[in-house]
Amino acid sequence: MTRIILASTSPFRKMLLKNAGVHFETESADIDERAVEEAAGGSGVSPEDMATILAEAKANDVAARYPEALVIGADQTLSFREEILHKPADMDEARRRLLALSGKSHELNSAVVIARGDEVLWRHVSIARLTMRELSPEFVGRHLAEAGHEVLKSVGAYQLEGVGVQLFDKIEGDYFTIVGLPLLPLLAKLRELDAIHG
């Protein structure tokens, strides 16, 4: 069977692949995401393209070390008012992020790339549009106290698979895209490559 490596230590991406019955290993990519963004042109690049560039950088880094394996790289950007937002540095920034998103819509752009050796075999981006309900500062404070520091692992300062679901009025897009791995297109491509059973 083909060796599959997920170029990520994200517990959420690992859980999605594991639950889907895919046999894989994990290997952390050694890249500086902000340096990759800067080299790619920073704010001149669309959020979808930036997610793809970052996913590709991760896949290529690990594929260079394991040239015989199929390496899956993934990344996600959050776009809000023409700006790409990053994971909050601390709980105060998470609070400001949630208050900024309150009552408004934003997009999560989830990219996935498959590489082998020095070749990128496939790229895909899925987009989800999420609309937050109006949140009071008091609610945000209580919410962050309950959710804890886990929110700092998310670009939106929330985790939809937990109490973060209470922040939203409307969600357009699939769960896998929101968690950060467009699973159905990825599984279809892995079957096409004979890397998993069809």
75 catalytic residue (yes or no) = yes
| N-terminal to C-terminal alpha carbon distance within the chain | 13
Residue 15's Cβ-side half-sphere holds a number of Cα atoms within 13 Å equal to 7
Q: How far apart are CA 180 and CA 108, in angstroms?
A: 8
Classify residue 98 as left (phi > 0), alpha (psi -120 to 50) or beta. alpha
Among 30, 75, 169, 174, the active-site one is 75
Please report the DSSP string for 48-88 in residue order: HHHHHHHHHHHHHHHHHH-TTSEEEEEEEEEEETTEEE---
- Which H/E stretch holds residue 137? helix 137-147
Catalytic residues: 75
